[in-house]
Amino acid sequence: MLTESFTYTQLASSSTVSDASRLGPPEPIKKVSPSEAFKAAQNTIYVGVGFIRVGNINVVTGCFEALFQLRFAYCEPGLRGREKLDTGQHLGGELEHCDRWDSWEEDCPNRPRVDDRSFANVKSLERVDIYNVRLVHKIDGCKVDGLVRMTLFVRGTFREYMELQDFPYDVQKLSIHLRNNMGGKDFVLTPWTKQTEFKFQCMLMDFEFFKPPIIDLRRESTRAHRLVFNIVVQRKAWFFEINVLMILGTIISISFVTFLFKTRRDLTQNLSIVLTLVLTAVTFRFSVADKLPPAAYSTVIDKYITVSFFCLAFVVFSHLGASIFPVVVFERVVFPFVGCLWGLFNVFFCCRVFMFKRTANKRLAAMGLERMSFQGKDESVLPWKILP
């Protein structure tokens, strides 16, 4: 945890604040072989998620959209001893040849039935399509008689509480909460780590993704539990640094040029320049208001803007004081003090941002996460650029 100027956002995920209060802390996931897991509980289900696309991350409404593959592996007692079967739909030709399975719905009465009530933090569920069902009798190289693998395509909008104290340097967890009660049946959910991944490279202009996804096992009560699949994302702050912080810092720095005027007692000349800059800064503040989240507390960028306006007000009152009190006092004490104060604040701000980023990178590396790099590169339509 950093000091009060910057507070490192705890990577805790919840669907809503009230819902998170009912959840217990993440429990350690025990490494048990699939044969032992299915022997201990016949209603065991291995669950994995293959994220295909994540987008429309809205920190104001606390929602994001996701398209993913939901992968199940469970044991169907009535299919023990049967030959391998496959419904036939799968990506590519990597699967071994199996007999066509047309009666899978009648043969799998114990399968999990996914709907909007299966996800604890869903806002709206657009589609749940069963893509492939296979009877393979094994999982991760371990033989389990009667084991059925299911692949579903799920697309929907999910709720997520997002802390914005560190905006625009915030790190968020986007989570999908899968309940153990699906279709009115209770199951024992077990993380399927090998089948939890990014199916394709996710890329957004304003966020960076970290891999691999994180799986948490959390309990609601003695009987109810859920698996939480988390994606860690970090905002790209370059847009706000260039278009907000740097522009506003330049406007404030220009106001210090009035300290170099020789006729300091000319109050009209000095104040007209400074007040013009004040109006420019205020106009700029309102022009970028729709780009900033309307949080009920001060974010990092809000604090910088507030200090900048205080400094600009200090410049105005300094010129007002120079027209009333002896000029020598302001030339030797007040003017250098105000200029040094503004310069030290910017140095302090840059150092704190650097320390924050360094701490965040160490924290994410300690969690075993690495930044997802984009390998592809679009070819330019034109062979030249306006600016190199």
**Domain residue limits at 76:** 34-235
Question: Under 8 Å CB-to-CB from 258, ≥6 apart: which residues?
Answer: 270, 273, 274, 315, 319
Structurally, the chain folds into a number of domains equal to 2
Which pair of structure tokens corresponds to residue 145? 């008689």
* CATH number, domain containing residue 222: 2.70.170.10
Residue 13 within a domain: no
* CATH number, domain containing residue 354: 1.20.58.390
Q: Residues 307, 231: one domain? A: no
DSSP secondary structure string, 223-270? S-EEEEEEEEEEE-THHHIIIIIHHHHHHHHHHGGGGG-S-TT-HHHH
Looking at the whole model, is its pTM more than 0.85? Answer: no
Question: Under 8 Å CB-to-CB from 36, ≥6 apart: which residues?
Answer: none
Q: Do residues 208 and 184 touch, judged by C-beta distance below 8 A? A: no
Q: Residues 242, 291: one domain? A: yes
Each residue's pLDDT, cut to its tens digit, for the chain (388 residues) gives 344 333 333 444 444 444 555 778 888 888 888 888 888 888 999 999 999 999 899 988 899 999 999 999 999 999 998 888 888 765 544 455 677 888 999 999 999 999 999 999 999 999 999 999 999 999 988 999 999 999 999 999 999 999 999 999 999 999 999 999 998 999 999 999 999 999 876 667 889 999 999 999 999 888 899 999 999 999 999 999 999 999 999 988 888 877 776 655 566 676 677 778 788 888 888 878 888 888 888 999 999 999 998 888 888 887 777 777 766 777 778 778 888 999 999 999 999 999 999 999 999 999 999 998 765 555 667 777 777 6
What single DSSP character describes residue 27?
Answer: B
- Report the interhelical angle of 267-287 vs 300-322 (nearest 10°): 170
Q: Residues 229, 242: one domain? A: no
Q: Residues 54, 200: one domain? A: yes
Q: Do residues 312 and 252 touch, judged by C-beta distance below 8 A? A: yes
Q: Residues 180, 222: one domain? A: yes
Secondary element (H or E) of residue 102: none
Residue 277 within a domain: yes
- What HEC string does 328-368 produce? HHHHHHHHHHHHHHHHHHHHHHHHHHHHHHHHHHHHHHHCC
Contacts by residues 346-355 (CB-CB < 8 Å, ≥ 24 positions apart): 346/249, 349/304, 352/2, 352/5, 352/6, 353/6, 353/169, 355/2, 355/6
Q: Residues 263, 295: one domain? A: yes
Q: Residues 195, 248: one domain? A: no
Closest CA relative to residue 265, chosen from 219, 321, 202, 306: 321
Q: Do residues 173 and 228 touch, judged by C-beta distance below 8 A? A: no
**Residues paired with residue 230 on neighbouring β-strands, in sequence order:** 175, 214
> From CA 301, how far away is CA 248, in angstroms rounded?
11
